[in-house]
């Protein structure tokens, strides 16, 4: 019989962890059923703990924890009761791992605790295996779009935000942080074709991640530039350490030539 306050096993990924004591960790989990949950993993750093090999980023796990607050939705640190590997493999090394940490950083900064997003969790799980592959760029753009849509930060890409005018396939558009989707000059940098906007919104509405990746491919360079500005606006003063690290690595590579 499950003890009072104990949750059933949840599908989860580790987003981040840090030391809590000499033997324990605080772990930020992304679960399918409960959203972002922070747990205390007591004894996880001990050599004999089975949690050491389980609480790793990018591998699917099944976790159970005990709510510590009287209100089960309270934004508190809960007690981890158990965690088991649930299948899947981590992304390939190098740039693929950086891309994975980039996804984790976005989730940590844009998701509130205890706010479930099952579709976003599914998109995250489906995106990880493709990191480091030929279609990584489109996969990252698709994930960013799903994240923004799920958190209410993305306007309808089938309509001009200010006028609700239907997007015209003969025109170009841009995402502007304080105005939403706007008509853009045809020759403007990073402009999105109307047809691309409609394809992106159609895939988002259908909740079809593969169709969204396909829609991202022809417009990926422009979409990447626009989403970078859009994310920066919604992140506010928060900076993405993974982007800074990529720039530092690029600078080192350039200076070494």
Identify the CATH number of the domain in which residue 45 sits.
2.40.50.140
Residues 75 and 148 in one domain: no
Residue 205 belongs to what domain range?
95-256
Same-domain check for residues 141 and 241: yes
Contact predicate 17/55, CB 8 Å: yes
Q: What is the pLDDT of residues 105-130, one digit of tens each?
A: 999 999 999 999 999 999 999 999 98
2 lies in a domain?
Answer: no
pLDDT tens, 43-68?
Answer: 888 888 889 889 999 999 999 998 75
Please indicate whether residue 215 or residue 178 has the higher confidence score (pLDDT). Answer: 215
Q: How far apart are CA 105 and CA 58, in angstroms?
A: 13
Are 125 and 53 within one domain? no
Q: How many domains does the chain have?
A: 2
- How confident is the model at residue 244, as a pLDDT? 58
pLDDT digits (tens, 9 = 90+) for 146-176: 999 999 999 999 999 999 999 999 999 999 9
Residue 192 pLDDT level (bands cut at 50, 70, 90): very high
φ, ψ dihedrals at 36, nearest 5°: -75, 130
Q: Is residue 149 part of a domain?
A: yes
């Amino acid at each position: 019989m499950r003890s009072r306050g104990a949750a059933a096993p949840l599908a989860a990924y580790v987003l981040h962890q840090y030391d809590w004591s000499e033997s324990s960790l605080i772990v930020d989990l992304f679960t399918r059923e409960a959203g972002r949950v922070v747990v205390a993993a007591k004894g996880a750093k001990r050599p004999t703990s089975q949690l050491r090999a389980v609480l790793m980023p990018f591998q699917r796990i099944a976790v159970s924890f005990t709510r510590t607050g009287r209100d089960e939705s309270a934004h508190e640190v809960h007690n981890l009761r158990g965690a088991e590997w649930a299948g899947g493999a981590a992304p390939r090394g190098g740039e693929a791992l950086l891309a994975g940490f980039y996804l984790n950083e976005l989730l940590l900064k844009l998701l509130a605790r205890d706010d479930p997003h099952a579709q976003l969790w599914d998109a995250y799980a489906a995106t990880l295996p493709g990191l480091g592959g030929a279609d990584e760029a489109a996969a990252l753009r698709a994930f960013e779009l799903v994240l923004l849509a799920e958190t209410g930060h993305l306007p309808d890409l089938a309509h001009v935000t200010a006028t609700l005018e239907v997007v015209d396939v003969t025109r170009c558009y841009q995402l502007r942080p304080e105005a939403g989707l706007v008509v853009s000059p045809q020759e403007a940098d990073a402009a999105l074709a109307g047809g691309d906007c409609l394809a992106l919104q159609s895939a988002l509405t259908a909740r079809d991640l593969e169709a969204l990746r396909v829609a991202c491919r022809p417009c990926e360079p422009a979409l990447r530039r626009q989403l970078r500005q859009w994310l920066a606006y919604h992140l506010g003063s928060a900076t993405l350490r993974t982007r800074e690290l990529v720039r530092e690595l690029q600078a080192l590579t350039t200076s070494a030539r």
